[in-house]
Chains A and B, each alone.
Chain A
Amino acid sequence: MGLASFLKSRLIPADLESHINRIRKPIGSLGYDPWGYNNEVMKYGFSLTRQIYEKYFRVEATGVEKIPAEGPVLIVPNHSGQLPVDGLLIAYALASREEKPRIPRAMIERFFPTVPYLGNLLNEFGAVLGDPTNCAKMLANGEAVIVFPEGVRGSGKLYHDRYQLKRFGNGFMHLAMKYNAPIVPVGVVGCEETIPAIADIKPLARLLGIPYAPLAMPVVLPAKVHLNFGDPMVFDDREIPEEQVTERVEQVKAAISELIDTGLSERKRLF
């Protein structure tokens, strides 16, 4: 047995391998899709995330079965915690569910593709550059897509702003309407406490070419994370003025806010 296959057998148990293999993905003859997702690399990512999900953040997910088993769907959570840990945990929750698991695609920040190694790795795990064309093409392919309409406004917010939703972009609503994709709101509670930041050092961020540079402890704290999935919300594809689109976005925002409140009230302790 070669080193590679030995490592694989230790890291990827047979049940995990068969679990992922039964999730069908539209991939080419060498296991890739156009956005760089790779089935084999994904298995390692899945195995690693399992440890983070179960042992480190001890995630409690409620309502993950509400995500439709097939067809295009937009998963819309609140964004928090400086690093995209929330996206990873939501993706794992959906990929690991017993009934009809799916591997969702997370839309990521525009600066990731410029980072060597990390950019490619994220692509191989299924993350995709957050571009409307990408999202549209994936919904047309019938994929489940995780979008954070708050973007860096959400993930980069400081600890004293925790659990306050920032402005939502309208782009996701237009795509949901165009591709008849139901929207599943998600309330993430706990990620705000993973990297509490007290300030954003803007000049440093500019110097490094990154969206924000948080002043925080250089560790990810093991906060307990609660994921609350809401009921799918369906919006028709009528031609409506932007004002009404914003109203629809507000409905989604309100649903997420409610799910966050539920999570906060159910939470017994921070860690």
Chain B
Amino acid sequence: MEEQRRPHILVTGAAGALAQQVIDRLRETCNLVAVDFREQVYLGDDIPSYCIDFNKRSFEDLFRRYQFDGIIHLGRIMSSQLTRMRRYNANVLGTQKLLDLSHKYNIRRMVVLSTFHVYGAVAYNPALIDEEAPLKSAGLSADLIDSVELENLANIYLWRYPDLNITILRPCNIVGPGVRNSISTLLGMERAPVLAGFSPMMQFIHIDDMADAIVLTYNKPQRGIFNVAPEDWVAYQHALKLCGCKRIPIPSIPPILPKIILRTLNLRSFPSYLMHFFKYPVVIDGRAFAREFGFTPKRPLKEIFRFYRENKKPV
């Protein structure tokens, strides 16, 4: 009797720590192919790995060759990387290409990683934001437009082609070993900037928990959009304190002042267009996801912050 075919899955963003965690969890049971548009990474002999631009024609060859059943789309250039234009090309146009090919090659399951940044940080945000809340971020900064556009595209395909079974995940701050996003860099620093007088509530999810969440999602074909966040909260400045960071206050009023200062400093971890996220809270409600996929995060905040405190000086 022929052995049952192992699912073939394409994982994007393979150079990132999160994708590698996801790959580790799935490699036993699935045939994986890893791609990244930044660099080629070696993930063992059993996993073909490519450095490829989704907008190039050769990308389609992967679909012909490997006959994917599902896609886990984690690859995106973060808002602190590259120029706005290149980010738009990679994140928005690249995702569109990926979605088009997925439809063409009858993909049956797709998980797309978005971010809570799409909600936008405004003073009037209620806490525990639901998935159906408006995405205000595009109106606040042109640098976050690609995040919203990426999601809009995935949304259109989610409803137009139900067979793709798209699930979009909007996680809170992903942190932990190997994570290179701006918040993780801040927590890892000896001295971190804060806006004087502002310490918004934040949520953090450990990279291992997030990888678990993605695998859970992939395994249950439930279409939709979900926030992913543990039911635990902490103020930004308190989090820095627990990570052993000295806080460097930046004058916060009038609002133009911190903007000028941050533009002048041009810090990668504290860019001026993310400034509002360090001023006003964006607290999301992750209960729908937890209920639907039976997800419980296992790493508490204290453990996350201990890691940053103990790894201030990387070896």
- Residues of A at under 8 Å CB distance from B? 28-30, 32-36, 38, 110, 113-120, 123, 128-129, 131, 133-134, 137
Contact = CB atoms under 8 A, between A and B. Distances in A.
B209 to A, nearest CB: 14
Interface string B97-139: 0000000000000000000000000011111101000000000
Interface size bracket, B side: 20 to 34
Contacts of A35: 127, 201, 283
A116 B123 contact: no
A30 B197 contact: no
Interface stretch (B55-63, B140-148, B233-241, B264-272): B233-241
A29 B302 contact: yes
Given A30-B232, A36-B281, A137-B126, 12 more contacts: A28-B232, A28-B233, A30-B233, A30-B234, A32-B201, A34-B128, A34-B201, A36-B233, A116-B197, A116-B253, A117-B197, A131-B124
Closest 9 pairs (CB-CB, A-B): A116-B197, A28-B232, A133-B126, A117-B197, A34-B127, A131-B126, A113-B123, A134-B126, A32-B233
Nearest to B283: A34
A1 B305 CA distance: 26
Interface of B: 123-128, 130, 195-201, 231-235, 238, 242, 252-253, 280-281, 283, 285, 300-302
A29 B300 contact: yes
Nearest to B281: A36
30 contacts: A28-B231, A29-B301, A30-B232, A30-B234, A30-B302, A32-B233, A32-B234, A32-B238, A34-B127, A34-B128, A34-B283, A35-B127, A35-B201, A35-B283, A36-B201, A36-B281, A110-B123, A113-B280, A114-B123, A116-B198, A119-B197, A119-B198, A120-B198, A120-B235, A128-B127, A129-B124, A129-B125, A131-B126, A133-B126, A134-B127
Contacts of B233: 28, 30, 32-34, 36
A116 B200 CA distance: 11
